[in-house]
């Protein structure tokens, strides 16, 4: 069987392509503007890529064409498919039909932390010997690929609320039929498809209505926007996890503040109580948000029989996800990190997590941000952006020309430097750096190769400021 995927280089569609390849199908795909890590993964999987969306690719006569949600009316290949009355099938629908039908699906939903939490969960199950299948929207350092079929009924999936396709405006997760569902958090995002928070919540309510009575929901008790959801969804079992300051229901997971022998907070430790019993372990990923992600993953793993003790042992060996505070190089004492954060909440949490792990003696934190997401371009989160960056020592923001609002208005009377030329941005950042500094690059796209170019220029430089 020959499967051809339109829009193959997105994180979801690229992972789907890997699953189709593992099923034994011939897999080809097309896209525009590819960049690592997904392009690299597809090459390693032996999947043929075609640049662009010309109608010529239909002459391969694939048995099935999967249409990614990057595709819209107006693309030549879509118009030709409609003229020929070729079948339109979305990635989530194809996944449901070919992979998920008889699986125990463990889905991770929410605005933030889906990739990391799903990666933690898949690794915990793997460590426990359950050999799960999974589809994750990122490159997980513990696995060779971001997706695999697995050898048991268990299948972990990052359950995105974004719409399915131009011909199916339901959220992707409607197709997944989870038996275990993590609700990590909920904020307004994706303003290009949702009107407001209530509109987002409506899609989550649709998902919950499809869950069988034997299913379990694992819910962040800290999040007020999730409260109305679980109050209206009493059909299946519910379990809660929360930070130390928030009360949880019985059977809840309660995060604790760990201390070392000197009474100081040990930021590397993960400490919590469950049903009145105390547990402690290690977590290499910094920040309160990652500790909450870990609680959610452990709760989901317990639903399929993995004890908290085994889960904690697994998390000691969890090596994270690429582009999640990923160290890209150290040159002349300057450390360069790459991160996918693009929503103000994610930006703030990432900077705070970095601060948590770095003392003042470790050098300054210089943040370089590309506000690139659709919601950012529309200005939905612009008023939160300045506050989300406030913990950085210095900050540069790149104006890529797509913003429908003024960066200057938001950052007036601040020390934030705004640049609209990538070469000028590189030189401005390099000119500021001292040995011992940390550069944190934030973007949900390729950022015109900024991270790699910065590392290359630093490596070739004779020195930086002492």
Give the C-alpha separation, 369 to 186, whole Å: 23
**Among the ranges given (361-365, 437-441, 445-449), the one the predictor scored with the smallest mean pLDDT:** 361-365
Strand-pairing partners, residue 182, are 108, 218
Among the listed ranges 98-107, 245-254, 405-414, which one has the minimum average pLDDT value? Answer: 245-254
Q: Report which of residues 191 and 339 the model is more confident about.
A: 339
Q: Answer whether residue 149 shows pLDDT above 90.
A: yes
Q: Which residue has the higher pLDDT, 442 or 34?
A: 442
Segment 195-203 shows an average pLDDT of 84
Query: In angstroms, rounded to a whole number, what is the distance separating the alpha carbons of residues 106 and 93?
Result: 17
251-261: average pLDDT: 75
Strand order of the β-sheet with 394-398 is 326-331, 334-339, 438-442, 365-369, 394-398, 417-419
Kindly give, in sequence order, each residue whose CB lies less than 8 Å from that of residue 442, ignoring residues fewer than 6 positions away: 339, 340, 341, 342, 347, 350, 367, 368, 369, 370
- Looking at the domain that runs over 93-316, which CATH code has it been given? 3.40.1190.10
| Confidence tier at 263 by pLDDT (50, 70, 90) | very low
* 443, HSE (Cβ side, Cα atoms, 13 Å): 19
Strands across the sheet containing 26-31: 48-51, 26-31, 2-6, 64-67, 89-90
What does the pLDDT read at residue 191? 65
Q: Is the pLDDT of residue 211 over 50?
A: yes
Domains 2-87 and 326-460 share a fold: no
Res. 87: pLDDT tops 70: yes
pLDDT reported for residue 264:
43
CA distance 240 to 218: 6
Residue 262 has pLDDT above 50, yes or no: no
Measured distance CA(225)–CA(205) in Å, rounded: 12
**Cα separation, 431 vs 413, whole angstroms:** 22
Q: How much helix, strand and coil, in percent to the nearest 5, is found in the chain?
A: 35, 25, 40
pLDDT at 327: 82
Q: What was the pLDDT predicted at 410?
A: 79
Contact status, residue 310 vs residue 128, Cβ threshold 8 Å = yes
Coil, strand or helix at 260: coil
Residue 367 reports pLDDT greater than 80: yes
The 3-class secondary structure across 24-64, one letter per residue, is: CCEEEEEECCCCCCHHHHHHHCCCEEEECCCHHHHHHCCCE
* pLDDT at site 20: 96
Residue-level pLDDT at 246: 65
Least confident of 20-29, 353-362, 407-416, 420-429: 353-362
Residue 76 CA to residue 197 CA, distance in Å, equals: 34
pLDDT band of residue 449 (cuts 50, 70, 90) is confident
Query: DSSP string of 382-451?
Result: HHHHHHHTTTSSEEEEE--S--SS-HHHHTTTSS-EEES-HHHHHHHHHHH-BTT-EEEEE-SS-GGGHH
From residue 428, alpha-carbon distances to 325, 368, 386 in Å are 22, 11, 20
Phi, psi of 260 (to 5 degrees): -90, -170
- The string of pLDDT tens digits covering residues 116-130 is 999 999 999 999 999
Whether residue 19 has pLDDT greater than 90: yes
The end-to-end CA distance of the chain, in Å, is 60
Q: Is the domain covering 2-87 a CATH 3.40.50.720 domain?
A: yes
DSSP-derived secondary structure letter, 117: H
Q: CA-to-CA distance for 220 and 202, rounded, in angstroms?
A: 18
Residues in the chain: 466
Say if residue 185's pLDDT is above 80.
Answer: yes
Query: Percent of the chain scored above 70 by pLDDT?
Result: 92
Peptide bond into 290 cis (omega under 30): no
pLDDT in the model for residue 175: 95
- What is the average per-residue pLDDT within 91-108? 96
The domain locations on the chain are 2-87, 93-316, 326-460
Q: What is the pLDDT of residue 156?
A: 98
Stretch 330-352: mean pLDDT: 83
Please check the confidence at residue 266 and state whether its pLDDT lies above 60.
no
Q: Is the pLDDT score of 341 beyond 50?
A: yes
Residue 28 pLDDT grade (very low, low, confident, very high; cuts 50, 70, 90): very high
Least confident of 207-216, 341-350, 356-365: 356-365
> H-helix or E-strand containing 222?
none
Task: List CB contacts of 169: < 8 A, sequence separation 6 or more.
Answer: 163, 193
Q: How far apart are CA 207 and CA 105, in angstroms?
A: 13
The span from the CA of 72 to the CA of 57, in Å, is: 17
Q: What is the mean pLDDT of residues 348-370?
A: 77
CATH number 3.90.190.20 is the correct assignment for the domain at 326-460: yes
Characterize the bridge pairing of strands 133-135 and 154-158.
parallel
Which pLDDT belongs to residue 358?
63
CB burial class (10 A; 0-12, 13-18, 19+) of residue 401? exposed
Highest mean pLDDT among 205-219, 262-276, 297-311: 297-311
- Give the model's pLDDT for residue 34: 65
- The pLDDT value recorded for residue 172 is 93
pLDDT at 162 over 60: yes
Q: What are phi and psi of 414, to 5 degrees?
A: -125, 170
What does the alpha-carbon distance between residue 456 and residue 447 come to, in Å, rounded to a whole number? 15
pLDDT grade, residue 231 (50/70/90)?
Answer: low
In sequence order, the β-bridge partners of residue 67 are 6, 90
39-43, 88-92, 194-198: which is most confident: 88-92
């Amino acid at each position: 069987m020959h499967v051809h995927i339109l829009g193959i280089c997105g994180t979801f569609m690229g992972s789907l392509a890997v699953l189709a390849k593992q099923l034994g199908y011939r897999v080809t795909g097309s896209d525009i503007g590819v960049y690592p890590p997904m392009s690299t993964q597809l090459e390693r999987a032996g999947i043929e890529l075609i640049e662009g969306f010309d109608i010529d690719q239909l002459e391969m006569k694939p048995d099935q064409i999967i249409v990614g949600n990057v595709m819209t009316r107006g693309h030549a290949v879509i118009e030709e498919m409609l003229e020929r009355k070729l079948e339109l099938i979305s990635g989530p629908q194809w996944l449901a039909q070919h992979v998920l039908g008889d699986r125990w699906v463990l889905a991770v939903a929410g605005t933030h932390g889906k990739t990391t939490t799903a990666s933690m969960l898949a690794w915990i199950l793997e460590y426990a010997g359950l050999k799960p299948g999974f589809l994750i929207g990122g490159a997980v350092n513990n696995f060779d690929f971001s997706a695999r079929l697995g050898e048991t009924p268990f299948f972990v999936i990052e359950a995105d609320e974004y719409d399915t396709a131009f011909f199916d405006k339901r959220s992707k997760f409607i197709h997944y039929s989870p038996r275990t569902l993590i609700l990590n958090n909920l904020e307004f995002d994706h303003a290009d498809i949702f009107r407001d928070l209530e509109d987002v919540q409506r899609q989550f309510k649709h998902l919950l209505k499809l869950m069988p009575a034997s299913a379990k929901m694992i819910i962040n008790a800290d999040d007020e926007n999730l409260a109305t959801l679980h109050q209206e969804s009493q059909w299946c079992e519910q379990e809660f996890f929360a930070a130390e300051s928030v009360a949880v229901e019985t059977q809840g997971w309660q995060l604790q503040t760990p201390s070392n022998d000197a009474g100081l907070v040990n930021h590397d430790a993960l400490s919590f109580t469950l049903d009145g019993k105390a547990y402690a372990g290690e977590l290499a990923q910094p920040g309160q948000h990652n500790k909450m992600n870990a609680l959610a993953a452990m709760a989901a793993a317990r639903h399929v029989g993995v004890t908290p003790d085994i889960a904690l042992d697994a998390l000691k060996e969890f090596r994270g996800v690429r582009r999640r505070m990923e160290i890209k190089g150290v040159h002349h004492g300057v450390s360069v990190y790459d991160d996918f954060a693009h929503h103000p909440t994610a930006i703030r949490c990432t900077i705070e997590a970095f601060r948590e792990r770095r003392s003042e003696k470790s050098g300054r934190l210089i943040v370089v941000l590309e506000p690139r997401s659709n919601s950012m371009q529309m200005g939905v989160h612009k008023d939160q952006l300045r506050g989300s960056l406030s913990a950085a020592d210095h900050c540069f923001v790149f104006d890529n020309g797509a913003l429908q609002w003024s960066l200057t208005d938001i950052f007036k009377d601040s020390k934030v430097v705004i640049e609209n030329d990538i070469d000028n941005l590189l030189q401005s950042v390099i000119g500021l750096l001292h040995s011992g500094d940390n550069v944190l690059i934030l973007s949900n796209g390729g950022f015109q190769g900024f991270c790699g170019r910065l590392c290359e220029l630093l490596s070739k430089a004779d020195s930086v400021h002492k």
